[in-house]
Structure 1
Amino acid sequence: MEFMTAKEAAEKWNVSVRLIQRYCAQGRICGARKNGTAWEIPSDAEKPQNVRKVQEAYSNPPFQNLMPLMNTPFHPGDCQKLLAGMKDGARKDIAYAEYYYFSGRPEMAKQKAEEYLSCKNPELRLSACLINAFANLSIGQIDQAKQVLEAIRNTLKEDKKRAPQAGVIDAFIATTAAVLLHLPLPEEMPSAQDFLPRLPFGLRAFALYVEAHSLYLQKNYEKSIGIIESALTMGAEQYPIPAIYLHLAAVMDYMSLKQPRMAERHLLDAWELARPDDLIEGFGEHHGLLGGMLEAVIKQKWPEDFKRIIAITYKFSAGWRKIHNPETGHEVADDLSTTEFAAAMLAARGWTNTEIGEHMNISANTVKTHLSQAMKKLHVESRKDLKQYMLQ
């Protein structure tokens, strides 16, 4: 990827260098990254919108009820204290639904969110829809998940000509749902540059994770890492839920670049944020994309937590495939063990048995056995053929 300096960006967009530096520090230029004291900006980056004009478009305080727990800073270990201190009402209910979901309790998340699926407040309704859809994946209620996802898509179509704030809410929810299911974005979707600057910081941090995840799927790993590092540098760590997901996306990128040490650093950073409040759902959701990093790190040091994460993986991935595979025609493998899948992912990316074994703390012969079992289950004869059944 090619980068330009702040001065070059200022000349290109006809603004001051100081304004460009401010845009970078605020995370308003996707992919901008700091190199020492200077900012490097992707050559294809778009000029951010004028924040004052965006703010003038609002008629109400923005996004107080949209994924409130995700959008609230707290110290690791203080999540339940934060929830208990919230004022009783719909906002608190949605925050609890988030907590139940992100701590791997989809049944409780679904129950808490369900009563708001028809709520007139769009922030509460779409928050409930997002939580409910993904909770349904994990408990095997696929038809209900599909219905809620369709409701999200329909809302995006219906709200296309409504007030800017409604469009931002729709875009945030619809983009999150599509990207995390590895589905194409709806045609009505505005560009990330149109809605990202309008989000409050916590939601913007999660939206940047979604953008980074999308770039990962496009194999643009360097740009994805640039977005992640910029968001974390700006203070996303204050918001544990977005920060956990940002770190996990960095693991995906660094493993794709065959840099396991950097991947391990980000995995441990995510774990340090997640473990005090038991926010382990994201680890289970991302297992297949983490390139055996959970087996290499979490399994060795926290074996009981690893078992719970793997249980989440099996439940979530089974539902995920039932949405993803029919809609995309990409038959991601559904009958491999998590260890077989992790080894097969690495093998499909060109890792040798020795490299996989050293990374996952198992022998090369054990790797060979896992790969043989994987190929047998998938009815393929070569490592190269594994790729079509792996996550993209």
Structure 2
Amino acid sequence: MSEYTVLPLLNSAFKPETAVEVVERFEDSDFRNIARAELFYFSGRAKECCEIAESYLEDEAIELRLSACILYGYSNLSLGNSAAARRGLEGIQKCMKLVKREGASKEVQAVCVLAGYAGVVLLHLPTERIPSLEGYCGMLPEGLRLFAVYVMAHQMYLNGEYWSAYGMCKAALLMTNDVYPISMIYIRCMMAMCRINRKDMQESQSEFMKGWNLAKMDNFIEPFIEHHGLLRGLVEACIRKNDPDGYRKITDGVLFFSRGWMVIHNNETKKKVTNELSTMEFSIAMLAGEGWTNKEISAHLGISVNTVKHYLTDIFSKLNVKKRDELKNYMLK
């Protein structure tokens, strides 16, 4: 089934550390190319992903075209190319219209709806123009269904329904026998995000490390780049000292991805999310804006209270604000 569906690598169950071998086992050369582009994207090699995906943006096979549009859109965000990223995201919408016009099967409609949701929810944009993803989940193959759970949970998270999002993710993992590494990494990130919003520090770090330990076997760092801000300092707390090379790769990627993300998000929503802070400053600003005390931030990040104060002084200066409550105007929603 995974041979002919959207994002075939993401949809594949496989043993961690074997992603490269899994890609090479795809018999169809075009789907093997798309799977290779996925491998490049999720391992932080956006330029190589983009080069492959671009050649499939107008492909006649809807699964290839949808995959290419998703990968091209997000790989260009990672490269800071917002105009090219828009091309990919707009391509998803064109595919949805084409499928609707031609009366495609429910299975093809389902992957289009998933792609449409992923293209807006992960950018924190409204979903009113897209059919409900929940009604199409049963028509998706298992790997994509797991990713759909993550996307729906992400939407719940943005609505402040943290515990509902967490429960949905946990139930999905309990009901899955095989290991779908990529979808499961995204789900673990979401579970960690939900826990940290409840100030469950130990549990949030546990969920984060389950995702990170799974991801590092195949160098799948992109989910942590995409979620850095929403992870609210977990990257700093969990791997900055213990895995400095992994931390450097993530923070290097965050700078490009977040700026491309913000150009599209800020333009669409007319709300400004700042791109003026370093990754550590952004994490501290997120926590302070949510009402965390300097002592709580210090304990969470493993730095001194005085260091937190120094960071906040620099943050206030860069954003031209005078009190913590004002930070929310510049942070991710």
Same structural fold, with TM-score higher than 0.5 when normalized by the shorter chain: yes
1:97-116 matches, cutoff 5 A: 97-116=37-56
- Residue 249 of structure 1: aligned partner: 190
Aligned in 2, Cα 1:131/1:236: closer, same or farther, shift over 3 Å?
Answer: farther
- Deviation string 1:111-138 (CA, Å, 9 cap, x unpaired) is 1111111110001100010000001111
- Deviation string 1:172-231 (CA, Å, 9 cap, x unpaired) is 1110010111111151x1112221110010000001000111100000001000111011
Name structure 2 gaps, 5 residues minimum: none
Aligned in 2, Cα 1:344/1:237: closer, same or farther, shift over 3 Å?
Answer: farther
Question: Based on CA coordinates, which of the two structures has the bigger radius of gyration?
Answer: 1
Aligned-pair CA distance for 1:251: 1.1
Aligned in 2, Cα 1:190/1:88: closer, same or farther, shift over 3 Å?
Answer: closer
| Structure 2 residue 302 is matched with structure 1 residue 369 | no
- Residue 61 of structure 2: aligned partner: 121
- Residue 236 of structure 2: aligned partner: 295
| Structure 2 residue 110 is matched with structure 1 residue 178 | no
Paired with 1:116 and 1:320, the residues of 2 have a C-alpha distance of 23
Paired with 1:231 and 1:246, the residues of 2 have a C-alpha distance of 9
Paired with 2:117 and 2:26, the residues of 1 have a C-alpha distance of 28
SS of the counterpart of 1:160?
helix
- Deviation string 1:301-341 (CA, Å, 9 cap, x unpaired) is 10111011100111110110011111011111110011111
- Residue 34 of structure 2: aligned partner: 94
- Residue 337 of structure 1: aligned partner: 278
Paired with 2:28 and 2:114, the residues of 1 have a C-alpha distance of 26
- Residue 148 of structure 1: aligned partner: 88
1:3-42 matches, cutoff 5 A: none
SS of the counterpart of 1:154?
helix
- Residue 259 of structure 1: aligned partner: 200
| Structure 2 residue 141 is matched with structure 1 residue 204 | no
- Whether the 8 Å CA contact 2:2–2:9 is kept in 1: the answer is no
Query: Quick one: which amino acid aligns to residue 158 of structure 2?
Result: L
| Structure 2 residue 25 is matched with structure 1 residue 85 | yes
- Deviation string 1:126-177 (CA, Å, 9 cap, x unpaired) is 0010000001111122111112211212332343352223321210111001
| Structure 2 residue 107 is matched with structure 1 residue 165 | yes
Aligned-pair CA distance for 1:236: 6.9
- Deviation string 1:52-110 (CA, Å, 9 cap, x unpaired) is xxxxxxxxx79823110000011111111212222251010000000000000000000
- Which of 261, 264, 268 is matched with 1:323 structurally? 264
Paired with 1:360 and 1:134, the residues of 2 have a C-alpha distance of 29
Paired with 2:36 and 2:272, the residues of 1 have a C-alpha distance of 35
Provide runs of 4+ in structure 1 moved above 4 Å.
Answer: none
- Whether the 8 Å CA contact 2:225–2:254 is kept in 1: the answer is yes
Tell me the number of residue pairs that the alignment of Structure 1 and Structure 2 aligns.
Answer: 331
> What is the identity percentage for the equivalent residue pairs of Structure 1 and Structure 2?
40
- Deviation string 1:329-367 (CA, Å, 9 cap, x unpaired) is 111111001111101111111110011001101011110
Paired with 2:204 and 2:125, the residues of 1 have a C-alpha distance of 25
Aligned-pair CA distance for 1:237: 6.4
TM-score by length of 1: 0.82
- Residue 310 of structure 1: aligned partner: 251
Query: Quick one: which amino acid aligns to residue 126 of structure 2?
Result: P
Paired with 2:30 and 2:98, the residues of 1 have a C-alpha distance of 24
SS of the counterpart of 2:10?
coil
Aligned-pair CA distance for 1:240: 0.2
Query: Quick one: which amino acid aligns to residue 272 of structure 2?
Result: E
1:42-61 matches, cutoff 5 A: none
Name structure 1 gaps, 5 residues minimum: 1-60
SS of the counterpart of 2:216?
helix
SS of the counterpart of 1:336?
coil
Paired with 1:181 and 1:205, the residues of 2 have a C-alpha distance of 19
Paired with 1:108 and 1:123, the residues of 2 have a C-alpha distance of 20
Paired with 2:32 and 2:296, the residues of 1 have a C-alpha distance of 47
- Whether the 8 Å CA contact 1:153–1:186 is kept in 2: the answer is no
SS of the counterpart of 1:70?
coil
| Structure 2 residue 218 is matched with structure 1 residue 277 | yes
